[in-house]
Copies of this chain bind each other. A is one copy, B any other.
């Protein structure tokens, strides 16, 4: 099953020739999740060749323009392309009003069901429960209400060991997959652990954007495979970062270290940085497994048995 993070764009509000505004595509199995949708997200999706029609759930962290203004265009494009599949949007209060006022004034009537879900910007909460994974959200701290999103695969049942599968009854297999022992017709006990191999560990991704440094969220990010954390500024601008309610490269790395994540992606780079290598260097001093979330880059999480 795929578990891939695709960086569509990674800049801030002001346009540059290098960066567009925040947006990421997370593909987990058959699901295509869009995380934030800054201006021109639909162009980035097309530019990198993604199947943008497949997006079923869109997660918006907060209502600063560089994180949501691409949404109305994408919704219109879905309409032009005769989408019929429902679309779920998770966002703070206000997103629905912004979209509805535009649809009304453009006299657009959507051909597909659009479902808005409010994110809880006050406390950690469950957002979405699917067969394969769950999505939770928790508040960050910025100039507007903003939340992080955490995507966690569910624990899967152990697999029947291939060399034994043909000799087992369907009833035995069913029990073993539930981690239950099974007594056969002769009355002898078959232990599930003997006939199975552990399922791969559930994989996880966390998206943390536009926030001051919050050391206390490390406990909510324990053992995450990949953490995206904004690092709008380098250490040279630490004071300004605090004023602007953003984080630095070092702060992102400190959090990744405290949470014990496997990999850190930094992004949301201020347009003053044309060379990103110093930013990467700063983070790696503290957390060596740091990578730049630059436009067009992809990070796959393989199964870990």
Name A77's closest neighbour in chain B (CB-CB).
B14
State whether A64 touches B98 (Cβ < 8 A): no
* Interface residue? A206 (CB, 8 A): no
- A77 and B13 contact, CB distance less than 8 A: yes
State the CA gap A105–B102 with chains docked (Å). Answer: 14
Q: Hey, what's the 0/1 contact readout for A9-37 against B, CB within 8 Å counting as 1?
A: 00001111100110000000000000000
The distance from the CB of A229 to the nearest CB of chain B, in whole angstroms, is 22
Which stretch, A67-75, A155-163, A231-239, touches the partner chain B?
A67-75
Chain B residue, CB-CB nearest to A21: B73
Is A66 at the interface (CB under 8 A from chain B)?
yes
Please give the count of copies of this chain that the complex contains.
2
Residue in B21, B43, B97 whose CB lies within 8 Å of A20: B43
With a cutoff of 8 Å between Cβ atoms, the chain B residues found around residue A65 in the complex are: 72-73, 76, 102, 106, 108
Which residues of B have CB within 8 Å of A102? Answer: 65, 69, 98
| Residue among A16, A77, A97 having the largest count of chain B Cβ atoms under 10 Å | A77
0/1 per residue, A50-74, Cβ < 8 Å to B?
0000000000000111100110110
Task: Tell me if A45 is interfacial: C-beta within 8 Å of chain B.
Answer: yes
Given contacts A39-B70, A65-B76, A98-B102, 16 further A-B pairs with CB under 8 A are A13-B80, A14-B80, A15-B46, A20-B40, A21-B73, A39-B39, A39-B42, A39-B69, A39-B73, A63-B105, A69-B72, A97-B101, A101-B101, A106-B144, A107-B143, A107-B144
Q: List 22 A-B contacts (CB under 8 A).
A: A13-B80, A14-B77, A14-B81, A15-B42, A15-B43, A15-B45, A15-B73, A15-B77, A16-B46, A20-B40, A39-B40, A40-B43, A63-B105, A65-B76, A69-B69, A94-B105, A97-B105, A98-B102, A101-B101, A106-B144, A107-B143, A107-B144
Shortest 8 CB-CB contacts between residues of A and residues of B: A94-B105, A40-B40, A65-B76, A39-B73, A15-B46, A15-B42, A15-B43, A13-B80
List chain A positions with a Cβ less than 8 A from chain B.
13-17, 20-21, 39-40, 42-43, 45-47, 63-66, 69-70, 72-73, 76-77, 80-81, 94, 97-98, 101-102, 105-108, 143-144
